[in-house]
Amino acid sequence: MMRFALFCLVAGIVTCVDAQAGDIVGTVKLTSPVKERAVGKKKIRPSKDWGADYDKDAEVPKGVNESEYTVVEVLGDKLPATPRKVDLVQKNKTFSPHVLVVPRGSTVRFVNQDDFEHNVYSVSEPGAFDIGRYRGKFREDQFTQANALEIFCGLHPRMNGYIVVAPNNFFAQADGKGKYKISGLPAGTYQVRFWHPRTESKTVTVKVPATGSVTQDVNL
Ligand SMILES: [Cu+2]
């Protein structure tokens, strides 16, 4: 144990990987039809120097495999949550990424890369917020409560995205084929939630081994 602690110190890593830790891997399949994208209800007046049309443009990225919007979270706020600072970009009237996942306590920096105004707000509770309209710079906000926040732009109601505030560091986003991996989880039994913005989420019990991995496939 002493040697393990020393190794961590030398390597300079903040969180040492527990020797008794396993991974959760699997595939998420979307078997139910996903809902239409949400449209925001709040309308924020643009400033006078830019005549907003409340956009008739489409903001739905084409050719996206919906499975990559799935978030897999290990529930429980006793596991460590290491705050991060990450960017959420508004460009071409689209939130990028569409689904952003951060550990609880993280700061999200909203970056407007268009040459006109945007806004970001959410009415999801807990954690509703509104950063007001802005342009040519960034705003930031800290997210301290675990929740999946549906976000919109008050100037472009069809701009829709999500900030998922995970309760701890143990989460993953599925790839385009629905595959995911959560690494280095202390051995034990956990509730694991499979969330997607446009279908019902599902929570399952997963037993994580002391070494190696457990496979948990889910149909949403
Ligand atoms: Cu906007």
- Residue 98 lies inside a defined structural domain of this protein: yes
| pLDDT bracket for residue 136 (50, 70, 90) | confident
Q: What percent of the chain has pLDDT over 90?
A: 66
- Residue 12 lies inside a defined structural domain of this protein: no
CA distances to 72, 96, 130 from 114, in Å: 31, 12, 19
Q: How far is the CA of 64 from the centre of ligand 1 (A)?
A: 21
Q: How far is the CA of 151 from the centre of ligand 1 (A)?
A: 11
Q: How far is the CA of 97 from the centre of ligand 1 (A)?
A: 15
111: tokens are 């970056």
Q: What are the residues whose beta carbons fall under 8 Å from the beta carbon of 61, sequence distance 6 or more?
A: 94, 98
Question: Does pTM surpass 0.95?
Answer: no
Q: How far is the CA of 44 from the centre of ligand 1 (A)?
A: 10
Q: What percent of the chain has pLDDT over 70?
A: 83
| pLDDT bracket for residue 74 (50, 70, 90) | very high
CATH number of the domain residue 34 falls in = 2.60.40.420
- Residue 152 lies inside a defined structural domain of this protein: yes
Q: What is the pLDDT of residues 144-174, one digit of tens each?
A: 999 999 999 999 888 999 999 999 999 999 9
